[in-house]
């Protein structure tokens, strides 16, 4: 594994030139988009990138347009030096770290809106969020021009939204999901876990445990209503404020009454001020 510091690019022309050189040399380029505050979940994406490609570009950009007015944009953790050191350890070749003015110059006026997939789950809880995500990811794909881009299944709705946007817009890139990396106690790694107090951190693994119970209880086409009600009660009893808890078709993300095909249990819940999301497969998703 290479330990050299990835080359940092803040200028689009220079980045494009480098990636074009790689592609001309027949090297498969993989993009891993992130908002920084990197952890082992992000590094698993980089590791997967190295497995399937020759060059890995990790982007670091805290995208203001995907945060709501009352969300944590200003306090979102930022530590570029630590991130670059982690990317070096993971063997990334390049870090694309555009300034906000490069992403959104004065007069910027275009947005990508994906309908359908964004109507449920996090969509209504975070108005404008997926539009911000789809727009910035489309820009990142057009800036870097990778062969493949990797996204975590941790943000399952985001993964599906991006797959849809890329298909709809005929973008010449393959979008792949990477399984969620968890702490030993089941808590999905997230940059936001650092907001949790010790008491909240102690309660947090219950989220994944409840999802796993629901997945087990709804396997084989069993009705989902009972396990969902029990799961919601268990989470509220553990101190969570549940925003949504649902079993959905893994492709359309529409709620199902029975998981007869590939399905996913998805949740968003607050522990104190911290919003956590997670999901698990009921059956192997596509
Ligand atoms: P973020 O920096 O939170 O925007 O995440 C960047 C990418 O890392 C997204 O594709 C996330 O889905 C992915 N990711 C975040 N946490 C995890 C995790 N625990 N396991 C796998 N992928 C993750």
Going from the Cα of 175 to the center of ligand 1, the distance in angstroms, rounded, reads 14
- Residue 286: pLDDT band (50, 70, 90) is very low
User: What secondary structure letter does DSSP report for 276?
Assistant: E
Contact 57, 92 (CB under 8 A): yes
Residue 6 Cβ inside 6 Å of ligand 1? The answer reads no
Contact 267, 279 (CB under 8 A): yes
- Write down the catalytic residue from 42, 129, 208, 241: 42
User: What secondary structure letter does DSSP report for 76?
Assistant: S
Taking only the tens place, the pLDDT of each residue in 13-52 is 999 999 999 999 999 999 999 999 999 999 999 999 999 9
pLDDT at position 6 is: 85
Neighbours of 196 (CB within 10 A): 19
Query: Which tokens belong to 208?
Result: 């994944």
Query: Which tokens belong to 83?
Result: 């991130």
Is pLDDT larger for residue 99 or for residue 3? Answer: 99
Of 177, 175, 139, nearest in space to 41 by CA: 177
Is pLDDT larger for residue 162 or for residue 5? Answer: 162
Q: Is 39 a catalytic residue?
A: no
């Amino acid at each position: 594994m290479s330990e050299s510091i990835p080359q940092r690019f803040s200028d689009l022309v220079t980045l494009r030139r480098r990636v074009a050189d790689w592609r001309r040399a027949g090297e498969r380029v993989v993009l891993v988009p992130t908002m920084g505050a990197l952890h082992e979940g992000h590094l698993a994406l980089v590791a997967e990138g190295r497995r399937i490609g020759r060059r890995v570009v990790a982007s670091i950009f805290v995208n203001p347009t995907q945060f709501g007015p009352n969300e944590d944009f200003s306090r979102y953790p930022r530590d570029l030096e630590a991130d670059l050191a982690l990317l070096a350890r993971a063997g990334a070749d390049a870090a694309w770290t555009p300034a906000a003015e490069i992403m959104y110059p004065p007069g910027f006026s275009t947005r990508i809106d994906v309908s359908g997939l964004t109507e449920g789950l996090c969509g209504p809880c975070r108005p404008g969020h997926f539009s911000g995500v789809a727009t910035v990811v489309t820009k990142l794909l057009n800036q870097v021009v990778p062969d493949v881009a990797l996204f975590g299944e941790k943000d399952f709705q985001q993964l599906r939204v991006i797959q849809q946007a890329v298909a709809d817009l005929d973008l010449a890139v393959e979008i792949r999901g990477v399984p969620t990396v968890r702490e030993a106690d089941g808590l999905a790694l997230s940059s936001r876990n650092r907001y949790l107090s010790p008491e909240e951190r102690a309660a947090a693994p219950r989220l994944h445990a409840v999802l796993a119970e629901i997945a087990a209880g709804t396997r084989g086409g069993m009705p989902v209503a009972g396990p969902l009600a029990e799961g919601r009660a268990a989470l509220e009893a553990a101190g969570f404020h549940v925003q949504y808890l649902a079993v959905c078709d893994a492709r359309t993300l529409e709620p199902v009454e029975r998981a007869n095909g590939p399905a996913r249990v998805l949740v968003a819940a607050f522990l104190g001020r911290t919003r956590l999301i997670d999901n698990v497969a009921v059956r192997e998703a596509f």
